[in-house]
């Protein structure tokens, strides 16, 4: 799909976000391992979250859609069924990595695959520690790439220091640890998103957390209803649109603002954004608020170190914000961006430079000089939902028309993105 975007004189509106993708995956996967029945509301509507549901159904889980954005799931008490066919995780790294940790502890054989993008993403990081736990797990290219073949069985505990701060890897091992014969200790270099830990504790798992070290013991989980907060990673596009546009006022409702996810708020405030959090509350163990943004004069800053895992999915849209900020923005320590749905460092530099930006790639980030007046151009999404949406916001701010090829990939996390963009007045 080819999508055109033209500038708006004014941005004014009120947006409710789709359910958080990370929390939705976990609500479905953890409840499928629990005993009892759970109702999950505001479940993420994107393709990635649907991939998780399809895989769980193939593993014998009964899932019923009980309202437009609500589903009921009957837990298996860790007794899944051998899938009759290959499990397809689509574009979703979270589905593949978390489910690998689950099926490694089940007494049957599974094969996990995905689309061409997912089949090029590194899986050695989960294969190696799962093998150490005793799972028979193999992948293409000497156990580094999907498809993964997993012959599950009885797992041993593990004491493991993660080589990278990755919530997907951490969660994979926590889930495998639930069905091991003894405790597992998982150490993270820097804290990444902690939704799995929060939900495991609420569901009664034996999990202790000391700093960045987690100790999990074999546990039964009790099903838990979840009301999924709005996805801050989807909200980030409107937050940035609201702060960089010269005449804007946007209210983004019901945003998940968990400390381990809200780096984009901290970074934009440091850049000078007029950003207010209203109506702060806690729902189902996750902090939620409404975010109000207005036109702001941004300044370039350095984005590096421990904040990186807290903004990892928002760096493409922060690269757009940096094009409108005064001075230099330096993004460092973000080499993980090269192995997301596409190489996001490359894609953002290439496409924003096409629009008149001044971005240079480095091995682990970007150097961005601003402010620049962007002009419309013909761009590519590189098949990556976050690249497509970031370019759409750049296009909203550019002179003339921007055309984005491969724009349909926004459905991976935000099927109503183009509709919401259209609704923003002006």
Just list the catalytic residues. 313
Q: Give CA–CA dist 194/197, Å, rounded.
A: 5
Residue 340 Cβ vs ligand S3P, minimum distance, rounded to whole Å:
6
Residue 82 Cβ vs ligand S3P, minimum distance, rounded to whole Å:
26
Q: Give CA–CA dist 253/247, Å, rounded.
A: 20
Q: Using CB under 6 A, which of 312, 315, 317, 412 touches ligand S3P? A: 312
Tell me how many residues contact ligand S3P (CB under 6 A). Answer: 12
In sequence order, the 6+-apart residues with CB closer than 8 A to the CB of 124 are 139, 143, 144
Q: Using CB under 6 A, which of 313, 314, 351, 384 touches ligand S3P? A: 313
Would you say 167 or 355 has its CB closer to ligand S3P? 167
- What secondary structure does DSSP assign to 297-325, as a single string? --B--EE-GGGHHHHGGGHHHHHHHHHTS
- Which one-letter DSSP state was computed for residue 161? E
In sequence order, the 6+-apart residues with CB closer than 8 A to the CB of 351 are 377, 379, 380, 382, 387, 391, 394
Does 231 interact with ligand S3P (rule: CB under 6 A)? no
Question: Cα Rg for the chain, rounded, in angstroms?
Answer: 21
* Beta bridge partners of residue 206, listed in sequence order: 217
CA–chain centroid gap for 146, Å, is 19
> Mask 382-401, x = binds ligand S3P (CB under 6 A)?
--------------------
Residue 197 Cβ vs ligand S3P, minimum distance, rounded to whole Å:
11
For the segment 331-370, give every residue that binds ligand S3P (CB under 6 A): 336
Hey, what are 142's tokens? 């000497």
Would you say 148 or 355 has its CB closer to ligand S3P? 148
For the segment 135-194, give every residue that binds ligand S3P (CB under 6 A): 166-168, 171, 192-193
For the segment 5-24, give every residue that binds ligand S3P (CB under 6 A): 22
Does 317 interact with ligand S3P (rule: CB under 6 A)? no
The pair phi, psi for residue 149, each rounded to 5°, is -110, 125
Residue 19 Cβ vs ligand S3P, minimum distance, rounded to whole Å:
13
Which stretches of the chain bind ligand S3P, using CB under 6 A? Answer: 22, 93-94, 166-168, 171, 192-193, 312-313, 336
């Amino acid at each position: 799909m080819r999508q055109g975007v033209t500038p708006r004189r004014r941005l004014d509106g009120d947006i409710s976000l789709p359910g958080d993708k990370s929390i939705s995956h976990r609500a479905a996967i953890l409840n499928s391992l629990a005993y009892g029945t759970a109702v999950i509301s505001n479940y993420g509507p994107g393709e990635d979250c649907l991939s998780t549901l399809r895989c769980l159904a193939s593993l014998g889980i009964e899932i019923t859609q009980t309202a437009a954005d609500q589903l009921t799931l009957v837990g298996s008490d860790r007794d899944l069924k051998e899938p009759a066919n290959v499990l397809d995780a689509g574009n979703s790294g979270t589905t593949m990595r978390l489910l690998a940790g689950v099926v490694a502890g089940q007494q049957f054989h599974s094969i996990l695959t995905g689309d061409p993008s997912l089949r090029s993403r590194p899986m050695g990081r989960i294969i190696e520690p799962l093998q150490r736990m005793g799972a028979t797990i193999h992948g293409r290219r000497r156990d580094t790439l999907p498809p993964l073949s997993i012959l599950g069985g009885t797992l041993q505990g593990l004491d493991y220091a993660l080589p990278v701060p990755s919530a997907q890897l951490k969660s994979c091992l926590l889930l495998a640890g639930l069905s091991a014969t003894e405790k597992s200790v998982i150490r993270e270099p820097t804290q990444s998103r902690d939704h799995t830990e929060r939900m495991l504790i609420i569901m009664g798992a034996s999990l202790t957390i000391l700093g960045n070290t987690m100790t999990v013991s074999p546990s039964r989980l009790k099903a838990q209803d979840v009301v999924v907060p709005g996805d801050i990673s989807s909200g980030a596009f409107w937050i940035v649109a609201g702060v960089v546009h010269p005449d804007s006022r946007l209210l983004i409702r019901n945003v998940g603002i968990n400390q381990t996810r809200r780096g984009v708020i901290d970074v934009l405030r440091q850049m000078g954004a007029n950003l207010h959090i209203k109506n702060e509350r806690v729902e189902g163990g996750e902090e939620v608020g409404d975010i109000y943004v207005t036109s702001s004069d941004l300044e370039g800053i350095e984005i590096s170190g421990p904040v990186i895992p807290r903004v990892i999915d928002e760096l493409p849209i922060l690269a757009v914000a940096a094009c409108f900020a005064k001075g230099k923005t330096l993004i460092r320590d973000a080499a993980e961006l090269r192995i997301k749905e596409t190489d996001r460092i490359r894609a953002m530099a290439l496409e924003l430079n096409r629009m008149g930006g001044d971005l240079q790639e480095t091995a682990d980030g970007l150097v961005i000089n601003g402010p620049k007046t962007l002009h419309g151009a013909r761009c590519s999404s590189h098949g990556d939902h976050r690249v497509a949406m970031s370019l759409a916001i750049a296009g909203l701010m550019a002179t003339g028309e921007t055309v984005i090829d491969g724009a349909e990939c926004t459905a991976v996390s935000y099927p109503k993105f183009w509709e919401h963009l259209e609704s923003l007045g002006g």
